[in-house]
A = this chain, B = another copy of it.
Amino acid sequence: MDSEDKSPFGYDAFRRTCPSHTVLEMLASKWVYLVICALRRGRMRNGELARKLEGISPKMLTQTLRVLERDGLVRREIFPVIPPRVEYELTELGQNLAGLLNQIRSWSEQHAPDIRDARARAVAEHEGDLVA
């Protein structure tokens, strides 16, 4: 039976129309992951985030922050000074989620070698296919 997968809230993330499915889709982005993890320790400015998240383009950084702000995970504070100063911080909801995402990040770092090895084995087997 599926009873174990039914949440006590009546949601089922496996259904496309379920609100929780939409939440998962939002989370299924590497930048969302990293931005939330980066903000976990406290508020940061746009430029700080850009330097910390190696490889993110300004566009993607802004876009990701806007999505997170829209969804109530990040709060944006604008200081009316010149040059502009904008700070981002996690809301309570965001901090809540950050704990979980940080576990995932931690897991990724712990098990990166395992996955690297598995990939190497898969490539080796594929080479075997070519020879055979």
Contact = CB atoms under 8 A, between A and B. Distances in A.
A101 B73 CA distance: 19
Tally of this chain's copies: 2
Interface of A: 4-5, 7, 9, 11-16, 18-30, 32-34, 37-38, 41, 52-55, 69-73, 93, 96-97, 100-101, 103-119, 121-122
Given A14-B52, A53-B14, A54-B16, A23 B72 contact: no
A13 to B, nearest CB: 5
Most chain B CB within a 10 A radius of its CB, from A25, A70, A93: A70
Contacts of A37: 5, 13-14
A70 B119 contact: yes
Given A100-B104, A104-B104, A108-B27, A72 B13 contact: no
Interface of chain A, main secondary structure: helix
A30 B118 CA distance: 22
A97 B107 contact: yes
Contacts of A104: 24, 27, 100-101, 104
A114 B7 contact: no
